[in-house]
Copies of this chain bind each other. A is one copy, B any other.
Amino acid sequence: MDLAQGIVKAAALLGAGLCMGMGALGPGVGEGFVAGKACEGIARSPENASLITRTMLVGQAVSESTGIYSLVISLLLIFST
């Protein structure tokens, strides 16, 4: 492996780490906010628990998507370069 290839590979792996790291920070906080508000909502109106849980899961799923994009980009950076 010559030096140029080494720099490319190193940048890819460092980038993968930063990408997944920041990509886990954002959705991790966001989804926690969703679930926290859902718990608060169920405590206030338990008769709508299934409705709120469903909304929570759908909302988290959308928010999760950007985390999954990060995962995909990280895997691409690790394996395809």
Contacts and interface: CB of A to CB of B under 8 A. Distances in A.
Interface in A29-57: 29-49, 51-53, 55-57
The SS class assigned to the A binding surface is helix
Report the interface size class on chain A.
35 or more
A62 B55 contact: no
Interface of A: 1-49, 51-53, 55-78, 80-81
Given A19-B21, A78-B73, A81-B78, A66 B35 contact: no
A23 B8 CA distance: 22
B70 A21 contact: yes
Given A5-B1, A5-B6, A11-B10, A43 B32 contact: no
